[in-house]
Chain A
Amino acid sequence: MELKTLIRGTLMGGAFFCAVLPATAEDSVFVQLPTYRTGPYAGSGIPIANGMADYITMLNERDGGINGVKIVFDECETGYDTQKGVECYEQAKAKKSLVFNPWSTGITLAVIPKASVDKMPILSMAYGLSAAADGKTFPWVFNPPMTYWDGASGVVKYLGDQEGGLDKLKGKKIGYIYLDAGYGKEPIPLLEQFATQYGFTLLKYPVPGKEMQNQSSQWLNVRRDKPDYMVIWGWGAMNPTAVKEATKIRFPMDKFIGVWWSGGEDDARGGGQQAKGYMTLNFNAVGTDFPALQDIKKFVVDTGKSKVEAAKFGENLYNRGVVNSLYMAEAIRIAQEKSGKKVVTAEDMRVGLENLSIDEARLEKIGLKGFIAPVKVTCDNHSGHNKMYVQRWTGDKWEKASDWFDPMSDVVNPMLMAAAKTYAETNKPWPARSEPCAN
């Protein structure tokens, strides 16, 4: 009797899986989400991971995925460690993820040479190798909405505006405090070029990763050197420590500006009221006053499917994670249109990313009007060099301190092209692009 039941059960189970599996396989795509919810960079990694996961969950819950195709995802913990990141990349490849999001410049640099061989698109949203914006040299790497070099040019442009023109930067001293890793070093060539071009002195203050919470020497040097402006390229625990140290030496906060990765609420909050006036670049809105964010609240946060704390929903880095998943979702939709398939592959996804175009009309349609500036990626231009704005800390929240503005593409682009060429030459034999443009 028991054997009979077992056989019947097995057969029924088999029949069930035979019936369900093909449907599941046809109706879902897989995306890996590398994260760092642990370790020294978790303060920045957790809100981003929450934002990424929640936007995808919302699409699945509200719309049943994209055109009826569910997005299955799982997280892979990198701890912001390059070695672990490469292991996540290998897992992503084995699980046939549509795309790999390194979430670290170090990891991005490590996987770029593998991407074209493995046919795995790399989405390094506003980080990673700036030169990867050259789609001809890097057909598998994408860094919209802009590169670090665009960001550095944005900072210099903004500081020039404060002085009354870029020519007024002549004779000024601009301090650059940065995480002494691939990320922090990335914009240095461009800043040095600008220093020569506009006649300012660039003072560099590296912060080793192990010393992120021990920056008193760097800020003593700042006090001695008396730079006119300070620029920060920090991440994780480095940011709040830097803001606190700046307040300690009475550095004027309205002369202190960071890249978009130094703009978390927790980065500024620790400095208290003295941090008022601290500025960073940004490329997404802060807050929850958008229909899509309200849908995330309704379908994900309120139903207990999110890991975000209620108070942190809509904060800057949470919304940054939403932007990353928005790019992926839109690229999947475009890949479906271009390939004519519902269940797309990583190669289709590359085409989707290469044709990523989110204009005002599309933003309004998906409930994110004003959340980001329109984004356009092309075959040649994998970054788009899109717009950014400056946000200012009021003491308890971020407020917009400038209109959206363009990077200095006329200066940046030739340098990017030259850097891409140099990269290909120094990494010989770098494969020539074989993928056709589908724009």
Chain B
Amino acid sequence: MDLLNGIFIAPFVQMADAPDFLVQVLWEGFVSGILYALIALGFVLIFKASGVFNFAQGIMVVFAALTLVGLYQKGVPVILALILTMAVMGILALAVERFIMRPLVNQPHVILLMATIGLTYFLVGLGEFVFGGEPKQMITTELGLPTGSTEIPFGAQGVVILQHIDIAAAVIAIAMVTALALFFNRTRIGRALRAVADDHQAALSVGISLHQIWAIVWFASGLVALATGIMWGARSDVSFALEIIALRALPVLILGGFTSVPGAIVGGLIVGIGEKIGEIYWGPLLGGGIESWLAYMIALVFLLFRPQGLFGERIIERV
């Protein structure tokens, strides 16, 4: 009876009793979801254009943020540091295309996956060698990002606290997705990229350079990684522990589909909000700490009904 009460009644009573807290949970879930979506976006861009599951996306987040902070700490002005970091991500994209993608073209996907695992360890070593292993504080104010928070009265005595950096994260994520959507749909390169995503051979036959597209898509993914690194670094620190957080994007990808940009966004929000609501209101029933696997449960439930994910391409195989 207690169990039934704990599942079906008590959580909803808690929500009704403290609506301000419910809104706070939803907001925190929304912000987490946005950040998960940004990480997932990096995966999607590369998978869409090349069919490669980029295991190195997490370390790219850390590497980009470390480069930015590291350059600033070495005395480079903040704007120049930002531009140089983008340039570094561009060089990385060119190097990946030249030394990983090009030699391994037409190899089975598992080979390319292994190559990105190798890239992960290379970037970990390079990052530690150049910038050291110590965590660094994100240069939030220097970048002009807001700090502090706003308290919004809610209900009779409640209050919802909104961190300004979280609001900025949401705005930047939305701007980034809009920019990417415009890039894909309105530019020549974007259309070429979509053509490559649809069919490599057909794209090649009309003169689209796969090498160029791969470099562009890795660069775009690097920029998304930089934005993610700045936002997540501002919430905690820039450390190599951030690399692991990228794995939180896996259920988002399962849910949203590996090839869908809107899927990454919607999947991120569902996972972010779902895991927070689950952890806070139903977690105590199971001793807490359920959010790390709850995201996968949510994704699996969705998969039962849509194996290709929410927005993924329907897989049709004729036999």
Contact = CB atoms under 8 A, between A and B. Distances in A.
B21 A42 contact: no
A42 B149 CA distance: 30
A40 B288 contact: no
Given A248-B161, A270-B137, A39 B240 contact: yes
Interface in B18-49: 18, 21, 24-25, 28, 31-32
A43 B131 CA distance: 13
B135 interface: yes
A221 B289 CA distance: 11
Contacts of A216: 28, 31-32, 276
Contacts of B137: 269-270
A419 to B, nearest CB: 23
Interface in B132-151: 132-135, 137, 149
Contact of A180 (B32, B163, B283, B289): B289
Interface stretch (A88-96, A151-159, A206-214): A206-214
A40 B161 contact: no
A343 interface: no
B240 A249 contact: no
A362 interface: no
Contacts of B24: 220, 223
Interface in A195-240: 204-206, 208, 210-214, 216-217, 220-221, 223-224, 236-237, 240
B276 A38 contact: no
Nearest to A244: B236
B292 A208 contact: yes
Interface string A242-267: 00100011100000000000000010
Given A213-B245, A241-B236, A221 B280 contact: yes
Nearest to B163: A248
A37 interface: yes
Nearest to B279: A217
B276 A213 contact: no
Contacts of A266: 134-135, 237
Contacts of B237: 43, 213, 237, 240-241, 266, 270
A378 B41 CA distance: 59
A221 B288 contact: yes
A213 B236 contact: yes
Nearest to A38: B133
Contacts of A40: 239-241, 244
**Looking at A45, A211, A217, A240, which has the most chain B CB atoms within 10 Å of its CB?**
A217
- What range describes how many residues of A lie at the interface? 35 or more
Given A46-B133, A216-B32, A224 B240 contact: no
Contacts of A204: 288
Among B133, B244, B279, B292, chain A packs the most CB atoms within 10 A around the CB of B133
A137 B18 CA distance: 52
A46 B232 CA distance: 23
A306 B283 CA distance: 47
Interface residues of B, number: 38
Contact of B25 (A37, A206, A214, A220): A220
Given A42-B239, A270-B237, A249 B244 contact: no
Given A40-B241, A212-B241, A223-B21, A46 B288 contact: no
Nearest to A247: B149
B128 interface: yes
Nearest to B148: A274
A221 B25 CA distance: 10
B247 interface: yes
Contacts of A220: 21, 24-25, 28, 276, 279-280
A237 B280 contact: no
Contact of B244 (A42, A210, A241, A248): A210
Interface in B227-252: 232, 235-237, 239-242, 244-245, 247-248
B275 A237 contact: no
Contacts of A208: 289, 292
Interface in B100-146: 124, 128, 132-135, 137
Residue of A42, A45, A216, A220 ringed by the most chain B CB atoms within 10 A: A216
Contacts of B161: 248-250
Contact of A213 (B133, B232, B283, B289): B232
Contacts of B279: 217, 220-221
B289 A236 contact: no
Among A180, A210, A237, residue most surrounded by chain B Cβ atoms (within 10 Å): A237
Contacts of A210: 244-245, 247, 292
Interface string B75-119: 000000000000000000000000000000000000000000000
Given A43-B239, A217-B280, 13 more contacts: A40-B240, A42-B128, A42-B135, A206-B289, A208-B289, A213-B236, A213-B241, A214-B32, A221-B280, A237-B239, A240-B236, A240-B237, A248-B149
7 contacts: A40-B239, A42-B240, A217-B275, A217-B283, A224-B280, A244-B236, A270-B237
6 nearest A-B pairs in the assembled complex, by CB-CB distance:
A42-B133, A40-B241, A241-B236, A237-B241, A43-B135, A213-B236
Interface of B: 18, 21, 24-25, 28, 31-32, 124, 128, 132-135, 137, 149, 161, 163, 232, 235-237, 239-242, 244-245, 247-248, 275-276, 279-280, 283, 288-289, 291-292
Interface of A: 37-40, 42-43, 45-46, 180, 204-206, 208, 210-214, 216-217, 220-221, 223-224, 236-237, 240-241, 244, 248-250, 266, 269-270
